[in-house]
Amino acid sequence: MSNHQKEVISVLIPTYNAAKYIEPLIGSLQNQQLSDIQELEIIIIDSSSTDDTVNLIKTNYPDVNVIVIPNKSFDHGGSRNHLASLAKGDYLLFMTQDAVPYNEYLLQNLVKSFQDPEVLIAYARQLPKEDAHPLEVFARNFNYPNKAIKKGKNTLDELGIKTFFNSNVCSMYKKELFDQYGGFPEKIILNEDMILASKVILDGKYVHYNNEAIVYHSHNYSLKQQFKRYFDIGMAFSDTSYLLKYASNEKEGMKMVKTQLRYLISEGKALTVPYAILESAVKLSSYKLGKKHSILPYKLKKSFSAYMK
């Protein structure tokens, strides 16, 4: 514990046009069950929202610290490192604006992961929201099973690339981890959470997938949005290709597609199968294109990407 008297949990959230999400999220965080020796702080970095996000927070949640940055200066790793530098917490919990705690024990359950001194990162299970499309329901259940996993070098043979998986939708880090590993990599398009997890694991430490810590989080992406998202994922993996020597992303993707089609048929949703196949083709082609991004003109890359400024 730090030299302050209470164990502080810092919840760190980047926002942009989050007016429709932010009140349920902050309200739920402020209703979390904490022990007598625990204290909560919430810090938000807003990328110059054009809606009422900042005003809502300042008016309704005066205890929440809000910093506004120019939209063009947002960086997945760098902006989160900025948040970490402002935090006084022993534990840093990164969340996204559209995630909502499932119950009031999210923080307590994540902190429990660190009772194991070898665990430096713990991330939460994600359940689909009520309006989630059947394909999204499947994806959340496939990627976030109801079974805890302590991931380290010893799970590489079994889990392959998923050993390094970690999600800043809701992921908690020991503060000392940031000092030791230099925080998230900066100036990358995506995967800052996964890259830091890979450093921890390749260094002989562990990442805990905590299935008892749960948030609601899902997206009903259009095909165009999926294309942009997977193009960015491809770019991210081309820049961190050393991770792919442990396992192929395409292999894991094919396993997911086969399982998905079986799921749709067993659930009586066979009419969704053609769309599922089309969506998978879009994801694979844009991912492969993203991996070859270095040969594409900048303007074309920017039009294909969801996150390039």
- The residue extents of the domains of the chain are 7-130+144-216, 223-304
Residue 157 neighbours by CB under 8 Å, 6+ apart: none
Q: What's the pLDDT score for residue 178?
A: 83
Contact (CB, 8 A) for 24 and 56? no
pLDDT at 243 exceeding the cut of 80: no
**H helices present in 113-248, as ranges:** 134-143, 156-159, 175-181, 192-202, 223-239
| Predicted TM-score (pTM) above 0.75 | yes
For range 34-48, the mean pLDDT: 95
Where on the phi/psi map is residue 182: left (φ > 0), alpha (ψ -120 to 50), or beta? left
User: Where does the pLDDT of residue 4 fall: very low under 50, low under 70, confident under 90, or very high at 90 and above?
Assistant: low
Q: What's the pLDDT score for residue 115?
A: 96
**What phi, psi does 77 have (nearest 5°)?**
-80, -50
**What phi, psi does 254 have (nearest 5°)?**
-65, -40
Three-state secondary structure call for residue 248: coil
Q: Which residue has the tokens 């990442």?
A: 207
**Burial class of residue 240 (count of CB atoms within 10 Å of its CB; 0-12, 13-18, 19+):** middle
Contact (CB, 8 A) for 26 and 65? no
- The strand pair at 119-127 and 38-46 is best described as unpaired
Taking CA atoms, 96 is separated from 5, 35, 228, in Å, by 29, 24, 19
For range 129-135, the mean pLDDT: 93
User: Where does the pLDDT of residue 62 fall: very low under 50, low under 70, confident under 90, or very high at 90 and above?
Assistant: very high
For 162, which DSSP code?
A: G
In angstroms, the CA 188 to CA 190 distance is 6
**What phi, psi does 66 have (nearest 5°)?**
-115, 125
Question: CATH top-level class for 7-130+144-216?
Answer: alpha beta
In angstroms, the CA 252 to CA 247 distance is 8
Q: What's the pLDDT score for residue 113?
A: 97
User: Where does the pLDDT of residue 188 fall: very low under 50, low under 70, confident under 90, or very high at 90 and above?
Assistant: confident
Would you tell me the crossing angle of helices 134-143 and 249-266 to the nearest 10 degrees? 130
